[in-house]
């Protein structure tokens, strides 16, 4: 069966599509395609993210993004020279505009919540292919934080009977999956280590190509120490981070610093919080857009005791691992099997994820 996985992460750089063939449970990545968000789309998403927002804008974006996802899937099929109808299923993560995985007191109840938009019915009807979307609420409904969901694929790809391995994804936020030697899915521990590229991107108002700006700057040690003292980094998992922590307000910490010093300090914050979160293992396997920031990778490697590689070593393009993950999670749901890793999300039990829309 052929499944398209569609992912658009917190970086708001755009939409990644991976097309994956399953023979039994063996997966083979057939092709992939990335579509950038236009600037006005990125601004519209930011405008409704996190805070108290205007409902009409959210509803419009919910349907508008579905059109973009459908277009991206069509473009990915064209790219690999396969007709849209060769797809049996689409797994679409959607765009997160709010995530509060830890429950809070709300109207007299404890409520955890998350909201990914991009309507599944519209994608299914446009593409003529069934869609599974909205993966996170199922995990929250059984007591989990709804994130991270990548551990399922990390475990499938990287588990080893004798070596412990760490899968590290550096997107807007950075997260790790800890896969000890011989681990079952239930044994996998995973959590957000803190910022990935989000603070760097926020300071630059774009991204720091190959870490060129950070390389020119000097780390502001007092500020770095102050940022590192955030109790989040010492907390035990499960824990998730988001634009809530590392968005506009966070950038105020860097006010008054020359841009290069600010970016160098933000890069060091990302490298240090990742390195400190990583337990003993034989290898750290990185993915996500952050692997292209060679300065960040150098700073991280310098603080690790184990070798730092990328998922390319295992045949998975680092830019598409998360899109592949949502093809794999959709495939699991389609087969009636759970896809969350309770050790990663804190869920009471495994759960079948997602909602299905028909073509």
Q: 259 by DSSP, 3-state: which?
A: helix
Q: Shortest approach of ligand ADP to residue 295 CB, angstroms?
A: 8
84 touches 127 (CB < 8 A): yes
CA–CA separation, 301 and 294 (whole Å): 10
82 vs 312 by CB, closer to ligand ADP = 312
208 vs 261 by CB, closer to ligand ADP = 208
- DSSP code for 187: G
CA–CA separation, 133 and 141 (whole Å): 16
- Out of 3, 13, 262, 273, name the contact with ligand ADP by CB under 6 A: 13
- Out of 139, 201, 261, 332, name the contact with ligand ADP by CB under 6 A: 201
Q: Shortest approach of ligand ADP to residue 157 CB, angstroms?
A: 16
Q: Which of these segments, 52-60, 206-214, 243-251, 328-336, binds ligand ADP (CB under 6 A)?
A: 206-214
By CB under 6 A, residue 171 contacts ligand ADP: yes
- Out of 94, 144, 172, 354, name the contact with ligand ADP by CB under 6 A: 172
Q: Which of 282, 251, 59 is nearest to 158 (CA)?
A: 282
Before 7, cis peptide (omega within 30)?
no
For every residue of 101-164, DSSP letters joined together read EEEEEETTEEEEEEEEES-HHHHHHHHTS-EEE--HHHHHHTT--S---THHHHHHHH--SS--
18 vs 357 by CB, closer to ligand ADP = 18
Which of ligand ADP, Mg ion, none does residue 311 bind to, with CB < 5 to 8 Å depending on kind?
A: none
Which of ligand ADP, Mg ion, none does residue 138 bind to, with CB < 5 to 8 Å depending on kind?
A: none
Which of ligand ADP, Mg ion, none does residue 293 bind to, with CB < 5 to 8 Å depending on kind?
A: ligand ADP
CA–CA separation, 197 and 209 (whole Å): 11
Q: Shortest approach of Mg ion to residue 39 CB, angstroms?
A: 15
Which of Mg ion, ligand ADP, none does residue 268 bind to, with CB < 5 to 8 Å depending on kind?
A: none
H-type helices in 278-352, by residue range? 294-303, 321-334, 342-345
224 touches 269 (CB < 8 A): yes
x/- binding map, residues 234-253, to ligand ADP, per CB under 6 A? --------------------
- 134 phi and psi, to 5 degrees? 65, 60
Footprint of Mg ion (CB under 5 A): 9, 11, 13
Which residues within the stretch 257-316 sit at the binding site for ligand ADP (CB under 6 A)?
Answer: 288-290, 292-293
CA–CA separation, 237 and 224 (whole Å): 23
Sites of contact with ligand ADP (CB under 6 A) = 9-11, 13, 171-172, 197, 201, 207-210, 288-290, 292-293, 322
């Amino acid at each position: 069966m052929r499944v398209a996985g569609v992912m658009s992460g917190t970086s708001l750089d755009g939409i990644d599509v991976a097309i994956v063939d399953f023979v039994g449970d063996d997966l083979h990545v057939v092709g992939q395609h990335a579509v950038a968000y236009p600037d006005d789309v990125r601004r519209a998403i930011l405008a409704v993210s996190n805070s108290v927002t205007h409902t009409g804008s959210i509803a419009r974006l919910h349907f508008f993004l579905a059109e973009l996802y459908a277009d991206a899937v069509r473009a990915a099929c064209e790219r690999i020279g396969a007709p849209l109808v060769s797809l049996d299923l689409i797994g679409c993560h959607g765009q997160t505009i709010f995530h509060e995985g830890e429950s809070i007191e709300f109207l007299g109840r404890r409520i955890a919540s998350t909201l990914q938009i991009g309507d599944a019915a519209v994608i299914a009807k446009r593409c003529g292919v069934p869609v599974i979307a909205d993966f996170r609420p199922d995990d929250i409904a059984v007591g989990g934080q709804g994130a991270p969901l990548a551990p399922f694929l990390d475990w499938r790809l990287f588990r080893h009977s004798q070596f412990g391995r760490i899968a590290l994804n550096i997107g807007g936020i950075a997260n790790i999956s800890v896969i000890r030697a011989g681990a079952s899915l239930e044994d996998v521990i995973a959590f957000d280590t803190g910022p990935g590229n989000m603070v760097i991107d926020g300071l630059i108002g774009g991204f720091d190509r190959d870490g060129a700006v950070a390389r020119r700057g000097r780390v502001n040690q007092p500020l770095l120490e102050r940022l590192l003292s955030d109790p989040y980094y010492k907390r035990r998992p499960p824990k998730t981070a988001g634009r809530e922590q590392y968005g506009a307000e966070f950038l105020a910490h860097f006010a008054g610093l020359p841009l290069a010093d600010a970016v160098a300090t933000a890069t060091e914050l990302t490298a240090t919080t990742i390195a400190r979160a990583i337990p003993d293992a034989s290898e750290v396997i990185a993915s996500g857009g952050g692997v292209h920031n060679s300065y960040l990778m150098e700073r991280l490697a310098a603080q690790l005791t184990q070798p730092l590689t990328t998922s390319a070593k295992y045949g998975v393009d680092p830019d598409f691992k998360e899109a592949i993950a949502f093809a794999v999670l959709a495939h699991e749901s389609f087969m009636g099997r759970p896809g969350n890793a309770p050790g990663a999300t804190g869920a009471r039990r495994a759960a079948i994820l997602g909602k299905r829309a028909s073509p």
